[in-house]
Amino acid sequence: MANKLRILSLFYLCSTITYNKADSVSDTEQLLSNLFTNYTNIVRPVSDHTKALNVSIALFVKSLKEFNEVEETFSYTGALQMTWIDYRLKWDPEQYGGIESITVPVSNVWLPEIFLASPATTKMYFVQSWNKARIWDDGTIELLQGAMIETTCSLNVKYYPFDVQACDTLLMSLAYKNNEVNLLKIGQTGIDFTLYQNNSLWEITSTSVYVETLATGTELQMHFILYLKRKSAYMVLNVLMPILFLSLLNALVFWLVPESGERIGYCITTLLAIAVYMTIVMDYLPQSSDPVPFISYKLVIDLISSSLIIVVVIFNMRLHNKAGDQNVPGWLRSLYRALACYNCKQKKVNPEIIQVKVAAWQKKETVENGSEEKKKIAKNDGDLIDEDGNKITWQDISAMVDWCAFVFFVMISLLSFFVFVGAALGNT
């Protein structure tokens, strides 16, 4: 008897479930029939047509796909949520089996027709005919549409590779004026990053959402701005450090022995390496003159510096190969002594050098009463001797030029590099 009661109870329960399910389907069909019998989707859903309909919009960002710096385009995956109230689509859930929301094709309801006003491709509209809209019992309509958003992004590469970009996604509703449809953001920020996945090249530092009226005074435009900061570690290791090393290697040409015959080839090879690297870096940047990236100035300085090094090397080779019987001008000898004897006060005096100096001046005294030419020769004989008692030759002058040029161009390379890094980091 107990088993029969259990079977009957189970049968009754199944019958009840089946009945309730059928009843739910019929309630939904009845609800849809009642809602859309006299409904038209071409009329703006406001009871007072002098008032604007509020359409709230939120942007969901899932991941950054591509940032094309040359074409100045930006794409990311996400979704756009639009919410508004259609007073004609209200119902009492108790009259329809407790149904609180339903989904219908978007073609059945009125749409604000929001489109992308800053497209990078021909894809401008988010909503497709097969999309579904959810309607709640109070007349609220929610439309959530996932999409690959491809938009233009005006780049400012002045501080590359330590730059921060502001990419603006513009949304508009040209079908309606600002006194017919009013655009609002959902929540405090208007952009949701709940499902966001970090990008290896860019970091989203902040966002901004606002609505502005166009110059026509009748259309609204909604801005969703993402502020992106470049992760510069890769660029520092693969762009900045090679640039610094190339410029320093270029100055090492003055350490090569002039007799090796490799100086000119070394300079030209380094110049070509800098030019090639400049071309590679420029391929990553948009062809823009406003503003010009600081790194472009840095590369141009390195290119000019490398060209000047070639000029100095050629000039210095001519000095080095001058005949030994050609006297060095007095001002060059004085400059040589000033640079070569900066610490001569700390050196011990060599008696042999004193004797050579005294002999030279004695020779000058013997011709003091002679002709001016003899006086000049005697004086030059004394001035041709350096602090070590050796005659100052053109090879000594060449060595002095090498040393001065090496210090100068190393300082130029380091100074230009750190000035560029300091100026670029000043933006962060």
- Residue 7 is assigned to a structural domain of this protein: no
Q: Are residues 315 and 421 in the same domain?
A: yes
In a domain, 302, yes or no: yes
Q: Which of 204, 231, 258 is the last residue of a domain?
A: 231
Pair 245, 187 in one domain: no
Is residue 355 predicted with pLDDT exceeding 60? no
What does the alpha-carbon distance between residue 180 and residue 52 come to, in Å, rounded to a whole number? 4
Mark which of 181, 200, 231 sits at the end of a domain: 231
Question: In the listed set 231, 252, 271, which residue is the last one of a domain according to the structure?
Answer: 231
In a domain, 30, yes or no: no
Whole domain around residue 325: which residue ranges? 236-425
Question: In sequence order, what DSSP letters do the residues of 295-336 get, joined into one string?
Answer: HHHHHHHHHHHHHHHHHHHHHHHHHHTS-TTSPPPHHHHHHH
Where is average pLDDT lowest: 85-89, 143-147, 166-170, 408-412? 143-147
Least confident of 10-19, 162-171, 224-233, 355-364: 10-19
The total of other beta-carbon atoms located within 10 Å of residue 347's CB is 10
3-state secondary structure of 203: strand
Q: Are both 334 and 407 inside the same structural domain?
A: yes
Q: Mind listing the pLDDT tens digit for each residue in 308-329?
A: 999 999 888 888 777 666 777 7
Region 157-181 average pLDDT: 88
Whether residue 191 sits in one domain with residue 242: no
Q: Name the band, by pLDDT with cuts 50, 70 and 90, for residue 428.
A: low
The answer on pLDDT for 101 being more than 60 is yes
In Å, what is the CA distance from 416 to each residue of 46, 237, 252, 293, 299?
64, 18, 17, 14, 10
With cut-offs at 50, 70 and 90, classify the pLDDT of residue 359.
low
Look at residue 171 in the predicted model and tell me its pLDDT.
92
Same domain membership, residue 99 and residue 180: yes
Kindly report whether the global pTM for this prediction surpasses the value 0.75.
no
Residues 280 and 212 in one domain: no
Structural domain includes residue 321: yes
| Kind of pairing between the strands at 73-85 and 220-230 | unpaired
**DSSP code of residue 426:** T
13 in any annotated domain: no
| Same domain, residue pair 138 and 268 | no
Q: Rounded CA gap, 79 and 60, in Å?
A: 5
pLDDT at 90: 92
Measured CA to CA, the distance from residue 266 to residue 263 in angstroms comes to 5
User: 247-294: per-residue pLDDT in tens?
Assistant: 888 888 888 888 777 888 888 898 888 888 888 888 877 776 678 888
Please indicate, yes or no, if residue 60 is contained in any of the structural domains.
yes
Whether residues 201 and 283 share a domain: the answer is no
The answer to whether residues 255 and 209 belong to one domain is: no
Is position 14 within any domain?
no
Q: Write the CATH number for 81.
A: 2.70.170.10
In angstroms, how far apart are the furthest CA atoms of the chain? 156
**Which pLDDT score, from 0 to 100, does residue 325 have?**
64
Q: Is residue 29 in a domain?
A: no
Same domain, 135 and 221: yes
Q: Domain tally for the chain?
A: 2
Residues 408 and 390 in one domain: yes
Question: Are 267 and 207 within one domain?
Answer: no
Average pLDDT, the chain: 80
- pLDDT at position 362 is 53
Asked if the model's pLDDT at residue 307 lies above 80, the reply is: yes
